[in-house]
Structure 1
Amino acid sequence: MAVDWWDRQEYRRQRWAARAALAAAGLAVLVPLAYGGMGGVLLLMAGAAGLGLSAAAVWWTLTLRGPERWAAAVLAVAVPAAVVALFAATLFWGLLLSVALWAVAVWSGRYALRGTGSRQVLVRERRTPPPQRPFLIMNPRSGGGKVTRFGLKERAEQLGARVLLLDPEQPQDVGALARAAVADGADLLGVAGGDGTQALVAAVAAEHDVPFLVISAGTRNHFAMDLGLDREDPAAGLDALTDGVELRVDLGFAGGHPFVNNASFGAYAAIVQSPAYRGDKIGTSLDLLPDLLTRQQGPRLTARAGEAVLTDPQAVLVSNNPYRTDDPFGFGRRERLDSGALGVLGVRVDSATEAAALLLDPQPDGLTILTAREVVIEADRAQIEAGVDGEALVLPTPVHCRIAPSALRVRVPRKRPGVTPPRPRLDWRRLRKLAATVGRTAAPRGTYGRPW
């Protein structure tokens, strides 16, 4: 009875929060109009036009060369600055109040939608005995020397692990090293290095059904982030050797090459092939993008994901579980690593108008977001460039991307920061339905968490 009463009270609070969100959003639009009259209407139209022109200017900056590129770059910076200055000078207090109201609308809307609809399903933890013969591969160059800076080798050896340091001057086959370790009796494989190295060893761990340990010693550590590990303290990941739990997560493959994060095809994949990219990322990208985006160079791709077909995209990203794309604060994060589905993000932009639509249109034609169990990348040539977890590869076409559900046993520390719960997506249609409920409508049983 106490739980039912609490559920009803929570549902009532969320219903009123939905009403507050809708009211605040409406006022956020009306305040500038009331403050500036017809001038406010014209300013809102100017703001929308400015956003579109800025997006078009960014497209010109990426696809043109010479003086035209520099003029477009100036335009891409000057237009937003001019719009902000115009709003500030004309609607200063009204603009501040509108921004504050919008913040209230967003906060209230997220509160109203929490616990409703689909909920995040966390990866189930399993308690297992500590490994007896762990084997760790460490790259001393990863992350600017984190292996040395955090004393990872010494700490791991104190905990009973056998550690192999890669030789920066001598390329080594980490997959072969991992297989040799399993043949020698290793009952856990781990990596302190980048995501590309992690993927190669993870595939061996999945093949032999031994646990895999991630040590966040790379530069970005995307996989470690989505596992909920402490990226600021790589040594904390070694606690899993003595006090850990196991998670079953998925593993992606692109043409037989494993990936824990993603495989990219198209413009970005072609750029990372350049020998100059590592030393000058921005300069190399600006030099190659005009020909790649206008299709004067590079392959013509076709991506098939289930029933969907992406024709001639400039870029396709296939990820091991889908990334969040509905929240700028959660962009690039994955809510789950065990959904058994690949995420697919395809981009096709052929003009400045379509570039503006990417920013202004809630559902632009040039952006494709979907999920699939298998994705096939076809091209007009026998081989295409690919970026697999940041590693530059050339793969024969067609490239078959697939996901192996729950293939990987990942051992993580029992005590770790964890994954930040995803913020509810602001679905205004659901907010309107929630706000419209009246009377003593009861909350669905078990929808909300208990207060203890």
Structure 2
Amino acid sequence: MLALLGSILVPLVAAGLRSVLWALAGVAGLALAAVGVWWTLAHTGVLRALGAVLSVTAPVAVLALYAASGMLGPALLSLALWLLAVTAARTALSPGAGPTPSEQSEHAVSEAPHSPWILMNPRSGGGKVGRFHLVEKAQAAGCRVVLLEGGRDVADLARQAVTEGADLLAVAGGDGTQALVAEIAAHHDLPFVVIPAGTRNHFALDLGLDRNDPAAALEALTHGVELRVDLGYAADRVFVNNASFGMYASVVTDPAYRDAKTRTTLRTLPGLLTGEDAPGLRARADGTHIEGLQALLVSNNPYGRAVDAARPGRRERLDSGLLGVVCVRVGNTAQAARLVRGPRSGQLIRLNAGEVVVESDTGTIPVGIDGEHVVLPSPVVCRSAPGALRVRVPRRRPGTPRATGADWPRTAQLALGRLFPHR
């Protein structure tokens, strides 16, 4: 709280009431930069070039103005104090952020599985299966290991394993493969083990697993505990993390995206944002109707902070029975400028819901489901299946995430309680 107060007092001491004008100049620079980014993404030709120049020159011009007036030092100090305040607030609130899924529903496992089955993708995560010797370690732990090769159907392999007597299913691979096997495990009420051998492994992160040591997840077989977590559904497709609609899903379905990501994105975005290819998404989240969306992210439990589909943040819990919804609605230059206000702008919408219905002006909608890109008929109904999956995790693991936002009222209450413990 002292750092937050300092971030306000520093510019006031340095420039008095004129600091308000300097703050407005900074906001104006950010707004112009947002306009420049919008022109760069939504247009081609001369306007795109002007947008690229504006997105760089606007913040540089503000910094130069600050430097010329002697305000650069106070501005940087104020920014540093604000960052310190936010970091300290998150740290201070972490011990009291509330119970995580593992703390709520975790229970000891009575016995080890007799016939555990593990599917491993040797190509996932740049070859983590081989680098961490997961096949040998899993076999030494008594597991039957199946390698995903030759385009074999993941769900069929898992069903076959259940038919042959598997009493635990596990996956060493990315989140898309995890979701396919998790659905089979949930259907048969079998325990499921996540081995983080993919590239990002957001599901493993939110379960508190060590993503830098995938082999450590094998301890769940002998020294594990179980917890119940939710699964998300987009139509009949399961997701453990999120389903993305709109710009991101449309861009990545382009065949050229894999080999030329930046070039393909710049080529296709103008049509998706303002042209004939614009998705025109609409959503109904419980009783809330939202129209004119360019992008929509539906997550299995709300993210603490969602930036985009590639960096959605972390989930504080996986057993709330709710879907998180993040919508982006930017249709023109003025709306792009208002994005600097964050959620208050109306261009970035966040809410939680039990069911989300996504519609478009076309008969089908491209969807990115845990990184796997599919096309589903419109409308797409997304729902949560509370407590559908039994996840077995090691008893000892880095830990599940805590609150990622700075809750200033709670921080103030905590600070006042330290200052006046007897009141």
In 2, the alpha carbon distance for the partners of 1:108 and 1:253 equals 37
Aligned residue in 2 for 1:49: 28
**Contact 1:348–1:367 (Cα < 8 Å) also in 2:** yes
Q: What secondary structure sits across from 2:293 in the alignment?
A: coil
Greater CA drift, 344-353 or 92-101: 92-101
Structure 1: how far apart are the matches of 2:281 and 2:207?
32
CA distance 1:34–1:326, shift in 2 (3 Å): farther
Query: Are 1:267 and 2:244 an aligned pair?
Result: no
Quick one: which of 25, 28, 31 aligns to 2:4?
A: 25
Give the residue type in structure 2 aligned to 1:193.
Answer: G
1:218 aligns with 2:206: no
Kept after mapping to 2: 8 A contact 1:51/1:360: no
Does residue 140 of the first structure (1) align with residue 119 of the second (2)? no
Return 5+ residue gaps in structure 2 as ranges: none
Amino acid at match of 1:317: L
**Superposition deviation, residue 320 in structure 1:** 0.4
Deviation beyond 4 Å, 4+ runs, structure 1: 107-116, 429-443
1:177 is paired with a residue whose SS is helix
1:238-277 aligned within 5 A: 238-277=218-257
User: Alignment identity in percent?
Assistant: 53
CA-based RMSD of the aligned residues comes to: 2.6
The whole-number CA distance in structure 1 between the counterparts of 2:365 and 2:131 is 38
Q: Is the 8 A contact 2:305 2:405 kept in 1?
A: no
Give 3-state SS (helix, strand or coil) of 1:312's partner: strand
TM-fit CA distance, 1:121: 3.5
Please give the TM-score of this superposition, normalised by the length of structure 1. Answer: 0.85
Identify the residue that residue 391 of structure 1 maps to in structure 2: 372
Distance 2:24 2:199 in 1: 42
CA offsets 1:215-237 (integer angstroms, 9 cap, x no match): 11111111111111111111111
Q: Is the 8 A contact 1:326 1:425 kept in 2?
A: no
Task: Answer with 137-146 or 362-371: which moved more.
Answer: 362-371
The answer to whether the 8 A contact 1:114-1:424 is kept is no
Larger radius of gyration: 1
CA contact 2:93–2:403 (8 Å) conserved in 1: no
Q: 1:72 aligns with which of 51, 58, 75?
A: 51
Check 1:360–1:149 CA distance in 2 against 1; reply closer, same or farther (3 A cut).
same
Stretches of structure 1 lacking an aligned partner (at least 5 in a row): 1-20, 444-452
Change (3 A) 1:436 1:235: closer
**Structure 2 letter corresponding to 1:201:** V
**How many residues are aligned here?**
417
- Residue 304 (structure 1) aligned with residue 284 (structure 2): yes
- Paired with 2:366 and 2:255, the residues of 1 have a C-alpha distance of 14
Cα separation, 2, equivalents of 1:211 and 1:99? 47
TM-score with structure 2 setting the length: 0.91
Residue 264 of structure 1, CA deviation:
1.1
- Give the drift of 1:153: 0.7
Shift of 1:193: 1.1
Which residue identity does 1:158 align to in structure 2?
Answer: A
> C-alpha offsets along residues 100-126 of structure 1, whole Å, 9 cap, x if unaligned?
54355446655776677x724442211
Deviation at 1:441, TM superposition (A): 7.6
Contact 2:245 2:366 in 1 (8 A): yes
Q: What are the equivalent positions in structure 2 for 1:383-422 lying under 5 Å apart?
A: 383-422=364-403
Secondary structure of 2:345's match? coil
- Cα deviation per residue 1:247-304 (whole Å; 9 max; x = unaligned)? 1100011110010001111111111111111112221111111110114204322211
Q: Are the aligned partners of 2:304 and 2:314 in contact in 1 as well (CA < 8 Å)?
A: yes
**Superposed displacement of residue 415, structure 1:** 1.2
Retained in 1: the 8 A contact 2:195–2:214? yes
